[in-house]
Amino acid sequence: MHPTDRQLAASQPTDRLLDVYPLRCEDGATAMAVDEWLLERAAASGRAALRFYTWPTPTLTLGYFQPAAVRQSVPGLAELPWTRRASGGAALVHDRELTYALALPPGELWQPRGVSWTCRMHYLIRDTLATWGIDSRLCGCGQERKLGEGLCFLHQTPGDLLVGGHKVVGSAQRRLRGATLQHGGILLAQSPITPQLPGIRELTGVTIDPAELAQHLTEALVQTTGAVLGEPGQWTSDAEAAIAHIRSQRYADAKWNLHR
């Protein structure tokens, strides 16, 4: 009699489990609240979690410390719904992209010394995109370029993933009590809001389904880390209530978003 996947997961040390939450399409304030909830959960429970999400309408997020005045400095941004991110960095227009959030608990298993999770995740994305025949590379040290102001994807920094010299993947982090949240966007296609930022489709002619890419990346992360899939992540009523509270107190609160 062979054990089920659930029985195998239950027999593993808790710190090796990776909980994967279902793909969602959600507004910006909700998306950022969910990511913060995942970070708090990782710090409290010691369990890692991964999720992917898309956007129902073009949405602007500002870095945690970025002045709100940026919205008026770049054409087209002021009209967009917007919120802040839990992480730093410059402005992002989320539209035709797949976004990921990886919450890592404290400890050597998930956060070994000297390992850059930005590079680790971007290498994983690079290798996964290669299965679609897409040639991408990481921006190296000394290759940083600033191609414009305000927008994150106009600023190429070491570790960013490039296709044909254009940034198509960028990530940022936030830490809490030894846990780390890393979230980032994979630019699948160009948004009409930011015509200066071509996506993978424009650069390669390849159209990628977000759900299919999310599945491939999940499998690759499990394989490369030796993680064991835990119970399928569920948006329980308690989780939804906690997320709603974070959303109302921060990311959906105009005063909180403007105060920088």
- Does residue 10 surpass a pLDDT of 60? no
Of the pLDDT bands very low, low, confident and very high (cuts 50, 70, 90), residue 13 is low
Q: Coil, strand, or helix at residue 134?
A: coil
Confidence band (pLDDT; 50, 70, 90) for 148? confident
pLDDT on residue 4 = 41
What per-residue string of b and e applies to 159-193 under the rule 16 or more CB within 10 Å gives b? bbbbbeebbbbbbbbbebeebbbbbbbbbbebbeb
Task: Give dist(CA 135, CA 164) in Å, integer.
Answer: 8
Position 150 scores a pLDDT of: 84
Q: Taking phi first (over 0 means left), then psi (-120 to 50 degrees means alpha), and beta for anything else, what does residue 226 get?
A: left
CATH of 14-258, one of 2.40.30.20, 3.30.830.10, 3.30.930.10, 3.40.50.720: 3.30.930.10
39-57 pLDDT per residue, tens: 999 999 999 999 999 999 9
Locate the domains of the chain by residue range: 14-258
3-state secondary structure of 117: helix
Element (H, E) at 163: strand 161-163
Instruction: Check if 152 is active-site.
Output: yes
Neighbours of 78 (CB within 10 A): 12
